[in-house]
Amino acid sequence: MTPLRQRMIQDMQLRNLAPATQRNYIAHAAAFARFFRQSPELLDLDAVREYLLYLLNDRKMSPEGVNQQVSALKFLYLTTLEMPWQDVDFPRVKRPHRLPVVLSQEEVVQFFDHVPSLRYRAALMACYGAGLRVSEAVAIKVSDIDSQRMLIRIEQGKGRKDRYAMLSPRLLEVLRVYWRATRPQGYLFPSWRTGRHLNASALQSACRDAWLRSGLRKRITVHTLRHSFATHLLENGTDVRIIQVLLGHSRIDTTARYTAVTPQLIGSTISPLDRLDRKPPASKSGKK
């Protein structure tokens, strides 16, 4: 391990960055160094610009992928190497605004009908029934299920934050059936490796397989189930601030985007035109 890599790892540990973020930053910094075949210490902002344009124009990388690289290089140069540069020197690619894919309740039922594995069905139902991220669902422990208060404890979710998610009676029933059949200890969805939980990629693959078997035209990912959870709550009249807490969003504007994908609410909203006082139409002749 090079001294620069070791220093970057230590800087990330001191700032309590998530392990996955640390791995990604190191991988991005290494790819940047391989591209120029030089240590980042010997490269400047022109090299950063050249590399980002290469990712966009030659590699055809998505804006999200390029922005991850920007974040890694920004941390490397501003924090670890302490270069006298500024945030503006690391421009982020503007992402196109796209509405998330949302399933109807009928489509949700059809999807779950094509998940054959009891373990995967229970985990995917937790994603839809409690609005969990895939990383949160696979890491649930048996002790996190609080059937007395009807809550699921989410330990160290996105942003290294603990929170509680809702535990619906239907989801509790599903989890109990699964637990009685498998009797897991520790993690609710354990891996075949002792002491580890189910891999997120395995659950994503199971989701993809079920989607293909279902014949539904909408592309379904694990995150689609989370989007659908939030949208269905909103359509049922749940306050957006409650949905914000359930999803673990730190900003209300992140949650508010679901208002753009609820045609049911749009269709039922009363126009101000309809609230105007109705007056009888005037007679054409003006005479009785």
Torsion of CA 155, 160, 163, 168, to 10 degrees: -60
Cα angle value 75/257/251 (rounded, 5°): 50
- Of the candidates 74, 218, 223, 257, the residue annotated as catalytic is 223
- Of the candidates 119, 121, 226, 232, the residue annotated as catalytic is 226
DSSP for 259-277 reads GGG-HHHHHHPPPGGGGSP
- Of the candidates 25, 51, 178, 258, the residue annotated as catalytic is 258
- Of the candidates 133, 163, 227, 232, the residue annotated as catalytic is 133
Catalytic residue flag (residue 176): no
Catalytic residue flag (residue 5): no
The whole-angstrom separation of Cα 52 and Cα 91 is 10
- Of the candidates 141, 153, 158, 218, the residue annotated as catalytic is 158
Catalytic residue flag (residue 223): yes
Picking from 57, 55, 4, 3, the residue whose alpha carbon sits closest to that of residue 29 is 4
Q: How far apart are the first and last CA of the chain?
A: 97
Catalytic residue flag (residue 133): yes
- Of the candidates 249, 278, 279, 287, the residue annotated as catalytic is 249
Supply the residues annotated as catalytic: 133, 158, 223, 226, 249, 258
